[in-house]
Amino acid sequence: MSKSFFLHISILITVITYTSCTTVNKEISAASNANLSKLSHKAKCIHFLNSFNNSTKIETGLISNTNFIHHDLSIADGKSAYLKKMSTFVKANGNIQIIRSFQDGPVVAIQSKYASDKENKIVFDVFRFKGEYIVEYWNNSEAVKPPNPSGRSQIDGYLNIEDLGKTEQNKKIVHDYLTALLIDKDLDKAERFWEGNNYIQHNTNVPDGADSIKDLIKRFQRDGTKVGYKKIHKLIGEGNFVLAINEGFYENSSFAYFDLLRVKNGKIAEHWDVIELIPESHLWKNKNGKF
């Protein structure tokens, strides 16, 4: 593809990122100016992540001092190990751009771009609160990659949270969809979750369209590729958006698949994902497990 194409995509991503930031601007502003104890869990998490963009104002008080479990297998257990990792990110000129954020009861999920001198990543951070404090944390990340065959990035796309009254309904739709498609691998059942071929795709290797997904599954089946999901561990929803945290496999390796899906009129309309290899258990730095 031409340089002008990628320049156009880069400009588009910048505009989308700016627009998405304005959609959470009220929460960010509130988190910056109000008493933290009176804010929503979502606002607290936005404030917490944004604090790492200013090394003199890192907000550490939101994490419980007595009961904090994290599922980042690359670091030791506990609050201090997590904050040490984030301090290393800050020292490498780290910057976090929040793209989308969702709250489901005591759980908040945030999709962000982490950029530093060392690496650029797309990250899903998931925080669970007990009372006013974060007591549990999950994450999944992968490198920033070029646009997919349809020219879409890992973070652009629809932003508005809608249909708040349909959150539980949409969580069930996502659960049943992923079960049919990636656990049972039953394309006939999966077919009813698409509106024709209308499906916006942000996976870096797959173009738009339900037909592209069907073709990929059929190719895996034809080639004998071992790939799929073992278990849907968590569903975090707010209105038309649902984040699914899934345990899966590709050939002989285990993976964490974090899938963000947008539901429209009872159909799966759009999909983002972050896929991360789960190391063998003897390499884990803590015993909490990925999920």
Each domain of the chain, given as residue ranges in start order, spans 3-143, 164-282
- Pick the closest to residue 81 from 97, 63, 99 (CA basis): 63
Name which of 160, 201, 15 is nearest 97 in CA terms: 15
Which of the listed CATH numbers 3.60.150.10, 3.40.50.300, 3.40.50.10860, 3.10.450.50 matches domain 3-143? 3.10.450.50
Give the residues of the chain that fall short of pLDDT 70.
Answer: 1-34
* Tens digits of residue pLDDT in 155-205: 999 999 999 999 999 999 999 999 999 999 999 999 999 999 999 999 999
Q: Of 154, 127, 153, 151, which Cα lies nearest the Cα of 138?
A: 127
Q: Is 164-282 the same fold as 3-143?
A: yes
Query: What pLDDT sits at residue 29?
Result: 56
pLDDT at 58: 85
Q: Using alpha carbons only, what angle is made at residue 77 by residues 76 and 79, rounded to the nearest 5 degrees?
A: 110
C-alpha–C-alpha distance, residues 55 and 51, integer Å: 7
The answer to whether domain 164-282 has CATH 3.90.550.10 is no
What is the model's pLDDT at position 256?
A: 98
- Label residues 46-69 b or e (16+ Cβ within 10 Å = b): bbbbbbbeeeeeebeebbbeeebb
Tokens standing for residue 122: 């797309």
Instruction: Specify the pLDDT at position 186.
Output: 96
Predicted TM-score (pTM) of the model is: 0.89
